[in-house]
Amino acid sequence: MMKCVLIYNPNSGKLTNRNDIKKLYKVFENYGYEVDIIYTEYKGHAKEITKKLKDVDLLICAGGDGTLNEVISGNIERSKPLLLGHLPLGSVNDVAHMYGLTGNTTRNLVMLLNGARKNIDVCLLNGNPFVYVACIGAWVDISYSTPRKLKEKYGKFTDELAAQYYKALAEKYGGTIPMKFVYGHAVAIKVNDNGRYLTKVIGAESKLEVRLVNRINKLEKSTGYFLAALMEANVDGKWIPYNDLDEESLVKLDIDLYNSITALLRNI
């Protein structure tokens, strides 16, 4: 039989039912895999396990986005990276959603074992890999300052918790916080006739004048982008809630951004 190791973060709390684990073992058996489940015990443990593992046919990360980041970090430090799959068990699971995985763990495992192998890029920031997103500033505090009990209780309602956090932050600074948007765009440029490409990141600053306020407006309209519920935009000298603007109005307000990006692309 083929050999599989599943690294499981028990803090995700999604595999507490023994029957669920039995179902996973049965799926692995049906696909010709002998599986070992290794439980993580502390932050960074998944990365350590991945780096020290002997070669196996398949490595599966079972946890949230943070656990996946650890496993990928350990995997790229190996001399020979392992074939990797991901079972989403966290409270948000953004990466899994991008790849079309569902909320059913058994079904996700079947999808993985039936899937095709694909190479993906891994981004590095000061030599440190990150998966999906890298943040700076106050945004970083949301995930770490939100108690795990609240994450487990509200799960995918994290947008609401984040909105409440920024509402309190705006109140702390007198009711409003001015904001600026700086955008980065990755462009692949062909550098020779041998098919070699170089990825270049270009940046542009938005001239759209916005601010965060201590009032939450139409959060339900902002799924996946909760900040819009706390933002106001300066329209001809009048501050208007971001979620009250239609798409055409937003494009007109931010036309300087479009023009600056277009100019950068033309000069590459």
Q: What is the pTM of this model?
A: 0.57
pLDDT of the residue at 180:
75
Strand, coil or helix: what is 21? helix
Strand, coil or helix: what is 90? coil
Across the beta sheet with 231-235, the strand order is 176-179, 210-213, 231-235, 238-241
Instruction: Spell out the per-residue pLDDT of the chain, length 268, in tens.
Output: 899 999 999 887 566 666 778 888 999 999 999 999 999 999 899 999 999 999 999 999 999 888 998 999 999 999 999 999 999 887 677 787 777 888 788 889 999 999 888 888 888 877 788 776 666 665 566 556 666 666 555 555 466 777 888 888 888 888 998 887 766 655 666 666 666 666 666 666 666 788 989 999 988 876 667 888 899 988 888 999 988 988 777 767 766 666 666 666 665 5
pLDDT of the residue at 235:
85
13 close to 33: Cβ distance less than 8 angstroms = no
pLDDT of the residue at 260:
62
pLDDT of the residue at 125:
79
Alpha-carbon torsion, ordered 74, 76, 80, 86, to 10 deg: 70
pLDDT of the residue at 41:
93
pLDDT of the residue at 135:
67
